[in-house]
Structure formats: structure tokens, C-alpha cells
Amino acid sequence: MTEDKSLREGMNIWRKTGSLNAYWYVIVFFLTVLVVLYGYHLLTAVTPSRVALSIGGGFDVYWYGICIVGGIALGAYVVSQLALERGTAVFHQHVPAAIQSRPLTDLDLPDEITQTLAKNKITTWGQLLLVWGFNPRNTGLNAAGVEVVQARLEAQTNIKETWRQDAPWRIWNPEHVWNGLIWSLILAVIGARLYHVLTPSPSMAAFGIYSPLDYFRNPYQLINLRNGGLGIYGGLLGGFIGLVIYTRRARIPLLGWADLAVVGLALGQVFGRWGNFFNQELYGRPTHLPWAVFIDPMYRLPDYSEYGRFHPAFLYESLWSLLTFAILYTLIRRYDKRLLTGEMMALYFIFYAIGRTLLELVRLDSRMLNLGFMQVNMAIATFVSLLIAVSMAAWIVIRRYRHRQTAG
């Protein structure tokens, strides 16, 4: 879905309150596909090939990449729609209904410009001002057309200068999602890799990696992602740094956008984790539970080669992410006014930390915490999770207390 199309859909968003957003059909469809796929796996013990498509020349497209890219794209689209709703709400707060409803013909624009705007479903002042406030280029006009419309808007005494030059709803322009995603993704990959390098999992011993120093002794391994090695917490930190950089450059609120971003992030993790299913990785301890995943012998850890079925840790995390997404989505759609800016972000980190702590109870390939003088019977991920959960909870409590003091 292009940015222009997203904006056109949003022009009449206030008329569609209560209707089901299009992305829900996509979410339900893919969830259904995954349920059917896993049901088939449980009945047959067959896992689809890692390769989704062989293009030729030794270039293969893997399901792992499709799941991750698809999850990111779907999550980003949902965030763009939530941003559009926020921007539209701000627009309604500032622009009177009487001005919104005025027909575009009142601006006495040239026929060619009027026709171009009509093709983009812009026929009233309200529709024009909404899109114009986000970005005049999204009207579909060329540079000359933008100048003409700009002059006509300036001639209207009942149209405020801020609506034209720096609209209050500009900060929720859906384009920021796609532009900021580039910064966040690049730094997220770098951060995820660094986290793994500093805390390599025990299974990396098969590739001669026993400690972080082994990576630096063989610099090629630092960038060799084919053997695995991306840590989620490093990715979250890197992605957040990318968001900080972009929001500062674009002059938009960091915490406000972080609140929206975590909704898409949780949804992306729902589908992204299924890449581990196709790769037959991220499984837990052996089990005979009815929903246990079957792992082919070549993908089993050496100490568990005699076992066939394991806890589907990837599935647990996917379901926990789905629950997280449902809660965050409900909060931001229904109770947004009751939350302080930044609390959605904090709640995501708390939910993920709790889920990761529970997941570590069944995971096999976790690096344990080493304090130098002693080995602690706790996974590093568990320690980091507890630290994050406590820190975020304390942050919420302190900010709530200060907010009440200020309000009082």
C-alpha cells in the first residue's frame, strides 16, 4: 500500500468510525494460514522446506526472510494507519467543520488543477487542508500546481497560516513511518548483531565460537549472518536509537511515535517468529505435549539428538506477541487519553520481558550469566528481561506520581 493511497483513505476516516480496518482482513487471513500449516505439521511431522523460491544462479528466497519482511511491512502499515487516525483527529480539533465542508470550487482554481485534485478524491477544503498539512506533494500536483494552490490558500483570510506552513497534524504524517523505518531497521540489525556477538549462544560452538573474543579473532565471523546470530534486545535498542535520530531530524515527538511503533513491532513479531518454524530453530526442551514441534535430526542440538519432539518456543513467543499486540492495540484505540505519552512503549517492554522470562524456562540454547568469579544459574536474557521490566514499571510509577503532583 503506497503512502498516497494511505492518505486518500484517511480523508474520509471520520466517516468510517467503527468500521473494520482493511489490515484486519490481512491479519486474520495469515493467522488462519499459519494455524492450518501448523495443524498439518502436527498430523504429518512434515516441515516445509526452508527455501520458498529458487530464482536460479544459486539465489534462493527463504521463508525466514519472507516472514520477517512480511511481519515488518504489516506492522508498519498498521502503525501508518494509527498515525493517520491521530493526525485526522488533530485536524478536526483545529479546523472548524464549516471550513472543512466548503467545496473546492470556492477557491476558484484552474480546471486542470481541480481535476487533478478530484482524481485524488480531494473535493472539499477539509480534504485539501488535511493532505496539505501532511505534505503538499501528496495532493498529486506538480510544483507549479502546488504554487497556485498555495497562493489561493494564502488569499483566504479564514485559513490560518499554521494550517498551511506547519500544520499541527503534520507530526502524524503516515510518511514518517516508512521514512523512519529505514533508520530503525539498519540500526536494529547492527544492534541485534552486536548483542549476539557479546553474548553468543552455546550452539555457536559448532562454528568455533565459544566467547565474544572468538568473533574478533576471526573478523569475518562478525558479519557472517548465515550461521545465525541476532539478539532481540540489541535489535530493540538499535531500533530505538534509529527512532531517536529520525524523530529529531523530522521534528516529531519521540515518545508519541514510540507508542505507535511498539504496536506494529508486536504484530511484526507475531509473524516474524514463524521464520524459526521453517528453519527448525528456536525450539525448547523435549516434550510429548500434543502441540510439540517435530525437528528433523539434522537440526537437533547434539545433546538432544535422540529426541524428536520439542516445545515450540517460537510458537509460544508468537502467541505472546499476539496477546501483546491485542492489548496494546485496544489501549491505543480506546484508552489513549488515559495514558501518558510513552506508557505504551513501556508496557510493550514489560510485556515482552515477561514473555521472554517465561520462554527461557523451556529454551535450550541460552547463554548463562557469568559474573567472572561465578556462573549464575540464570540466562542472560532472563537477567536483561527482569532489569527491563523493573525499570519500565518504576518509570511508569514515578511519572504517574509526578503527573498527579503537577495536576494537584
Dump pLDDT digits (tens) for 17-73. Answer: 456 789 999 999 999 999 999 999 999 999 999 998 888 777 888 898 899 999 999
Q: Is 134 exposed, middle or buried (0-12, 13-18, 19+ CB in 10 A)?
A: buried
Determine the Cα–Cα distance for residues 33 and 44; give it in Å rounded to an integer: 16
**Tens-digit pLDDT profile for residues 251-309:** 999 999 999 999 999 999 999 999 999 999 889 999 999 999 999 999 888 889 899 99
Is 353's pLDDT higher than 80?
yes
**pTM for this structure?**
0.89
Q: How do the domains of the chain map onto residue ranges?
A: 3-90+253-407, 95-169
**Tens-digit pLDDT profile for residues 135-179:** 999 999 999 999 999 999 999 989 999 999 999 999 999 999 999
Is 4's pLDDT higher than 60?
no
**Tens-digit pLDDT profile for residues 303-331:** 898 999 999 999 999 999 999 999 999 99
Quote the pLDDT of residue 13.
42
The secondary structure of 206-261 as a DSSP string is: GGT--SHHHHHHSTHHHH-GGG----HHHHHHHHHHHHHHHHHHHT--HHHHHHHH
Assign residue 280 a region (left: φ > 0; alpha: ψ between -120 and 50; beta: otherwise). Answer: left
Determine the Cα–Cα distance for residues 388 and 403; give it in Å rounded to an integer: 22
Determine the Cα–Cα distance for residues 311 and 292; give it in Å rounded to an integer: 5
**Tens-digit pLDDT profile for residues 98-111:** 999 999 999 999 99
Terminal Cα-to-Cα distance of the chain (whole angstroms): 46
> What percent of the chain shows pLDDT beyond 90?
69
Determine the Cα–Cα distance for residues 114 and 147; give it in Å rounded to an integer: 14
Is 372's pLDDT higher than 50?
yes
Quote the pLDDT of residue 201.
75
Determine the Cα–Cα distance for residues 305 and 406; give it in Å rounded to an integer: 61
The H helix count followed by the E strand count for the chain is 17, 6
All three cell numbers of 186: 539498519
